[in-house]
Structure 1
Amino acid sequence: MADNAETSVATEGIVDAWMQQPTARFMDQPWLETLLRWTGLERRVPPVAATVAAMDEAGVSRGLLSAWHGPTGSLISNDEVAEVVRAHPGRFAGVATVDLTDPMGAVREIRRCVRELGFVAVRVVPWLWNLPPNDRRYYPVYVACVELGVPFCTQVGHTGPLCPSEPGRPIPYLDEVLLDFPELVVVGGHVGYPWIHEVLSLATKYPNFHVDTSAYVVRRLPPELVEFLRGRGRDRVLFGSNYPMLTPGRCLDGLGELGLDDEARALFLGGNARRVFRL
């Protein structure tokens, strides 16, 4: 199995589970200030060609591009994501977002994005709304995801932006969601620090809960998550970068130090994402 897994990565490439192709609206957000300071990025929109080049440099064959919508409106619209996906066949897949204040509109938009635009998931970032995922406003979104067979992606852990981190705490918020929707596939992005033990307890308890490593370089992953990835959690952890805040190449620097066998490495770099998102 290990040989087959290594061959899969070599032939199919890496999948990046969390990327953005920012708009000027996104890059102008004041909450980006701390991330820009940490990463050294400028407030400019990277051209799509630079995004593709960063993927090529790291061996990423497919990137999941996320739309963003918050209380102030659209920051990266679903149609803007779809335009990039259409212009680069096979390189990207779309991840939809919705307006939580419009439940019926959210359900209709998810159906449109999945059925007409071919999007593979839905993402809502809790800190952007300051609403934990067990808030009633999310529940129509979960019903639509189960109905259409697409994962719900969210953020777990503290926030880089200067916004409250509490909505990203896994227990009790995601715990209640996973109990209420046993058929819902959930991917928690950004690792979940400092509540890494809560994250791993959910991943142990619920077979449909997964974690992605976006916003972290692999050499800085919590040791508990690395141990989980090496062993019983090898089919539950997905690679992600959070581009453009971090490039895939920068995130993967030090991959060899994780001590992954061939199977765990192949699942982490692409196999799990292909299965979870049905790529």
Structure 2
Amino acid sequence: MTPTDEHRPYLRIATEEAWAPTEMIDLYRRHLSEGTIADIGFHSLMGYFLGSAHPQPRAVVERLHAAAERRLADMDSAGIDHQVMALTAPGTQVLDAEEGARIARIANDRLSELCRAHPTRFSALAAVSYEDVDAAVAELRRAVRELGLKGLILNDHIRGSHIDDPRFAPLLAALEELDVPLYLHPNTPPDRMIEPYREAGLDGAVHGFGASAGLHLLRIITSGIFDRHPRLRLVVGHLGEGLPFWLHRIDHMHAKQVASGRYERIKPLRQPPSEYFRTSIWLTTSGMPWAPAILFTRDVIGADRVMYAMDYPYQFDAAEVQAQDALPLSDTEKADFFENIARRVFRLEF
């Protein structure tokens, strides 16, 4: 329990909390300076956070790789008992195989050290370089079995590719084997998608993130990944990137597409697309501390599928924590929302 509300009968576990090693920040700065990464979204996103003099992005970057003491102080001030940390977007996914593998290994080792030093306060997800799938499987196994990490972060598209590409099937099988979840986190849209968003100033969290990650999520469902990997657990932030609102229409139109044979990629699934939200997908409230949206999402996909997240340090606001604690839920329901679902999905044992 944090000192702010010691009589609270549940812990608050925040499940989408960003972190970065200094080595990755330094590498990003070098690539930005030298122009050696062509990705438009990388320059828009990291060019802003690492180049702006405004205090807000500067504070975010400082918190991303600050010493644990600062993160813990922020958690205590907001009433957060435990964070599930992951490598911030775009992570390794703008880097080549060699650089990505090096950063993933550094991140996994460092996160494991933080979790061992503060076992009741921190858990973490593994990072891999998706450029070499065999090496990614090996690093995931090391991170889970040797380092004790609790899942795998996927920062949206992989230099324009998506996880439904058949070449990533061994990695999905490894997640099933290891019994850990995949966390789909947003990033700026890929080059083939980003330009209308960027020219309107909408390529970031205001909409571009959700549009791109929502597309990725829908591709995962309609490609049949959950039918081929039935034990795969997928966690998605921001209340599912808007898809819960569309579930009826998605089911209706998907059935029409299957019946008509309009698209080669759209095949029959074992259940309607919406059902995978109730059998294979969990959502977090990261960046979405809005009671109507949270309650609606709990209603349409099930209260056991929605858990708390803050989105630290990008959206660090203690008032948002209190707003979600004020949801019209019983203490038992809040215990599930803030603590127990996260424990079950990420197999947390502290």
Task: Give the TM-score range, shorter chain.
Answer: 0.7 to 0.9
Q: Who is 1:50 aligned against?
A: 70
Q: TM-score, normalised by structure 2?
A: 0.66
**How far, CA to CA, are the matches of 2:55 and 2:234 in structure 1?**
28
| Residue equivalent to 1:258 | 327
Mapped pair 1:191 → 2:213:
no
Higher helix share: 2
The Cα shift of 1:230 comes to: 5.5
Query: Contact (CA 8 Å) 1:158, 1:192: kept in 2 or not?
Result: no
d(CA) in 1 for partners of 2:275, 2:187: 17
Instruction: Kindly indicate whether the alpha-carbon contact (under 8 Å) linking 1:54 and 1:249 is maintained by their aligned counterparts in 2.
Output: no
Give yes or no for the alignment of 1:245 onto 2:314.
yes
Percent identity, aligned pairs only, is 25
* Aligned twin of 1:95: 125
Note if 1:229 corresponds to 2:298: yes
Of residues 269-278 and 202-211 in structure 1, the stretch that sits farther from structure 2 once superposed is 202-211
Segments of 5+ residues of structure 2 without an aligned counterpart are 1-6, 30-41, 190-203, 252-272
Alpha-carbon spacing, 1:151–1:248, altered in 2? closer, same or farther (3 Å): farther
SS at match of 1:18: strand
Q: Contact 2:9 / 2:335 at 8 angstroms: preserved in 1?
A: no
- 1:221-252 per-position Cα deviation (integer Å, ceiling 9, x unaligned): 6x354223257611101111221112262432
Residue 285 of structure 2 is matched in structure 1 by: 213
Q: Residue 39 and residue 204 in structure 1: after superposition, are their counterparts in 2 closer, same or farther (change >3 A)?
A: farther
Partner residue in 2 for 1:59: 79
Tell me, yes or no, if the aligned pair for 1:17 and 1:239 is still in contact at 8 Å.
yes
Q: Distance in 1 between matches of 2:232 and 2:305?
A: 15
Distance in 2 of aligned mates of 1:106 and 1:251: 36
Instruction: Letter of the 1:255 partner, please give it.
Output: Q
- Considering fraction of residues, name the structure with more strand: 1
Q: Which deviates more from structure 2 when the two are superposed, residues 251-260 or residues 51-60? A: 251-260
Larger Rg: 2
CA contact (8 A) 2:188 2:209 kept: no
CA 262–227 in structure 1, closer or farther in 2 if over 3 Å, else same: farther
CA contact (8 A) 1:130 1:167 kept: no
SS of the aligned residue for 2:57 comes to coil
Indicate how the Cα distance of structure 1 residues 33 and 243 shifts in structure 2: closer, same or farther if over 3 A, else same. farther
Note the C-alpha offset of 1:49. 1.2
| C-alpha spacing 1:113/1:241, structure 2 compared with 1 (3 Å) | same
SS at match of 1:129: coil
CA 1:246–1:39: 2 relative to 1, 3 Å:
farther
Cα distance in 2 for residues equivalent to 1:271 and 1:78? 25
In structure 2, how many angstroms separate the alpha carbons of the residues matched to 1:255 and 1:148?
A: 32
CA contact (8 A) 1:133 1:167 kept: no
* TM-score (normalizing by structure 1): 0.81
Which of residues 166, 188, 194 is equivalent to 2:212? 166
2: CA distance between counterparts of 1:164 and 1:91? Answer: 29
CA 1:157–1:110: 2 relative to 1, 3 Å: closer
Instruction: Please list, as runs of the form range in 1=range in 2, the aligned pairs for 1:1-279 lying within 5 A after superposition.
Output: 10-24=8-22, 25-26=24-25, 28=29, 30=43, 31-32=45-46, 40-42=56-58, 43-44=61-62, 45-67=65-87, 68-72=91-95, 73=100, 74=103, 77-127=107-157, 129-155=159-185, 160=204, 165-169=211-215, 170-176=217-223, 177-198=225-246, 202=273, 204-205=275-276, 206-216=278-288, 218-219=289-290, 223-229=292-298, 233-247=302-316, 249-256=318-325, 258-279=327-348
Cα offset, 1:199, TM superposition: 6.6
Q: Is the 8 A contact 1:157 1:195 kept in 2?
A: no
- CA separation of 1:64 and 1:167: change in aligned 2, threshold 3 A: closer
SS in 1 for 2:245: helix
Q: 1:189-244 CA distances to partner (integer Å, 9 max, x unpaired)?
A: 2223343435797564441211111133x12x6x3542232576111011112211
Contact kept, 8 Å, 1:96 with 1:119, in 2: the verdict is yes
Does the 8 Å CA contact 2:152/2:183 hold for their aligned counterparts? yes
Aligned residues: 268
Give the stretch that moved more between structures: 125-134 or 89-98: 125-134
CA distance in 2, matches of 1:194, 1:180: 25
Cα 1:21–1:250, aligned 2, differ >3 Å: closer, same or farther? farther
Separation (CA, whole Å) in 2 of partners of 1:118 and 1:103: 21
What runs of 5+ residues in structure 1 fail to find an aligned partner?
Answer: 1-8
Compute the RMSD of aligned alpha carbons.
3.2
Deviates further, 142-151 or 79-88: 79-88
* Cα separation, partners in 2 of 1:167 and 1:65, compared to 1, 3 Å: closer
